[in-house]
């Protein structure tokens, strides 16, 4: 008779046991996805051409990221050793935190902000210190400076920030780096193209400044998972020790040069989104809904107590939006990605219908 096998599973690190599970919402097939801040249309046709020409034989080889890193570095006006390509900015955040955060260190975060900073930090032995933005969700510069301690090891700033769309000025970022010379200041420019201001030119001149950029937003390549980290060579050498040498696959590497070269497509898409943002913001204002000024490809709106029903009604109308109520200070607030003008006309119709239904519902309750 077979012996009974005892079902004992080895336990992970305490910190991992304490981590929250992160489940991004699933998309519906035919819906307009305004819940992930993606490009809502397509990547450049030049990228599609390259993808179509990839041979099965080329997939047998491990990817070589260095030549593409050199192209990216030149594009940013930096030297190749200052740039590392990553499997999305998410991997950039992950490896940076793995390389630099020790027990006793603090990750300083203005909140609300991008969720994954906290997720990756919670897998390390560092402590997360948050600084809450005021109700206007403006970048809390003074409070952040006041929260710096000798233990502050990384300060992560999404610029523009998500879900608020607010920005820190270049002068504020430089001042933060100056006041915390013992800490790395990560400036995550995931939404750079919709804003236009960067600190890329300061990389290497400010020793504790690190930059992240993604190809998931304006470039429309979220599915390929492509991001980058740029910083002084002295910092990047430690990052490279932790970074998997093959985490950026060869399809992503092949697509990056045409994505960069097709500036006409990028400019067109960004122009379309900026025009659509203005029109959609007007529609939100006309609907009497509070919103926060945004420098990115999304807008945060105040729905209030009906946020769950609103999100559900939008989904039923074929428009996916993201309820940010669980973000600190964001109860009742919903983030809506900006796509093309045509898509945002559809979104505005759905928004007005959902709001009308909410208002009718609450009148009926009275």
Interface with ligand PLP (CB under 6 A): 37, 88-90, 114, 158, 162, 188, 190, 214, 216, 222, 227
| The pair of three-digit structure tokens given for residue 104, joined into one six-digit string | 């006793």
Residue 132 sits at φ, ψ, to 5 deg, of -80, 130
Min dist CB 221 to ligand PLP, Å, is: 9
Q: Please, what is the angle between helix 263-286 and helix 250-261, to 10°?
A: 80
Contact (Cβ atoms closer than 8 angstroms) between residue 212 and residue 190: yes
Min dist CB 18 to ligand PLP, Å, is: 23
Nearer to ligand PLP by C-beta: 112 or 227?
227
Min dist CB 352 to ligand PLP, Å, is: 27
Nearer to ligand PLP by C-beta: 63 or 88?
88
Alpha carbon distances (Å) from 293 to 34, 41, 197: 18, 24, 16
Q: What is the rounded CA–CA span in Å between residue 69 and residue 96?
A: 18
Min dist CB 278 to ligand PLP, Å, is: 21
Please enumerate, as own/partner, the contacts of 62-67 that have beta carbons within 8 Å and a separation of 24 or more: 62/245, 62/246, 62/250, 63/246, 63/248, 63/249, 63/250, 63/252, 63/253, 64/253, 65/245, 65/248, 65/253
Contact (Cβ atoms closer than 8 angstroms) between residue 217 and residue 191: yes
Position with the least CB separation from ligand PLP: 88
Q: How many helices (H) and strands (E) does the chain have?
A: 12, 12
In 3D space, the residue among 307, 336, 331 whose CA is nearest the CA of residue 319 turns out to be 336
Alpha carbon distances (Å) from 173 to 47, 54, 202, 208: 34, 41, 11, 11
Nearer to ligand PLP by C-beta: 250 or 297?
297
Min dist CB 349 to ligand PLP, Å, is: 26
Min dist CB 306 to ligand PLP, Å, is: 25
Nearer to ligand PLP by C-beta: 213 or 313?
213
Give just the sign of the alpha carbon dihedral 21, 27, 28, 31: positive
Nearer to ligand PLP by C-beta: 337 or 358?
337
Min dist CB 248 to ligand PLP, Å, is: 11
Nearer to ligand PLP by C-beta: 214 or 235?
214
In 3D space, the residue among 205, 237, 200 whose CA is nearest the CA of residue 81 turns out to be 237
Min dist CB 186 to ligand PLP, Å, is: 10
């Amino acid at each position: 008779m077979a012996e009974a096998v005892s079902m004992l599973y080895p336990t992970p690190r305490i910190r991992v046991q304490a981590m929250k599970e992160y489940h991004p919402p699933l998309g519906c097939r035919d819906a307009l996805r305004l819940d992930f801040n993606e490009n809502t249309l397509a990547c450049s046709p030049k990228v599609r051409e390259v993808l179509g020409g990839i041979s099965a034989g080329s997939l047998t080889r491990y990817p070589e990221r260095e030549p593409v890193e050199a192209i990216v570095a030149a594009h940013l006006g930096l030297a190749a050793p200052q740039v590392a390509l990553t499997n999305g900015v998410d991997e950039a955040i992950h490896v940076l935190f793995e390389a630099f955060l020790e027990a006793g260190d603090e990750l300083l975060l203005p909140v609300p902000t991008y969720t994954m900073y906290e997720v990756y930090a919670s897998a390390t032995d560092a402590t997360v210190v948050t600084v809450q933005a005021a109700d206007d969700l403006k970048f809390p510069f003074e409070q952040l400076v006041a929260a710096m301690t000798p233990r502050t090891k990384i300060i992560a700033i999404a610029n523009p920030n998500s879900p608020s769309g607010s920005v820190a000025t270049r002068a504020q970022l430089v001042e933060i780096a100056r006041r915390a010379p013992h800490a790395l200041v990560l400036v995550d420019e995931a939404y750079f193209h919709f804003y236009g201001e960067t600190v890329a030119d300061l990389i290497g001149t400010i020793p504790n400044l690190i930059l992240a950029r993604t190809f998931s937003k304006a470039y429309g390549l979220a599915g390929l998972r492509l991001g980058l980290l740029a910083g002084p060579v002295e910092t990047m050498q430690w990052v490279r020790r932790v970074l998997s040498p093959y985490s950026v696959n060869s399809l992503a590497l092949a697509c990056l040069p045409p994505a960069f070269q097709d500036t006409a497509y990028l400019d067109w898409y960004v122009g379309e989104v900026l025009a659509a943002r203005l029109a959609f913001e007007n529609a939100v204002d006309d609907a009497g809904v509070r919103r926060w000024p945004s420098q990115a490809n999304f807008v945060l709106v105040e729905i209030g107590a009906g946020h769950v029903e609103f999100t559900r009604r939008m989904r039923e109308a074929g428009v996916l939006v993201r309820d940010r109520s669980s973000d600190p200070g964001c109860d009742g607030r919903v983030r809506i990605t900006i796509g093309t003008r045509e898509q945002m006309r559809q979104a505005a119709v759905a928004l007005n219908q959902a709001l009308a239904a909410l208002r009718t519902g609450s009148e009926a309750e009275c």
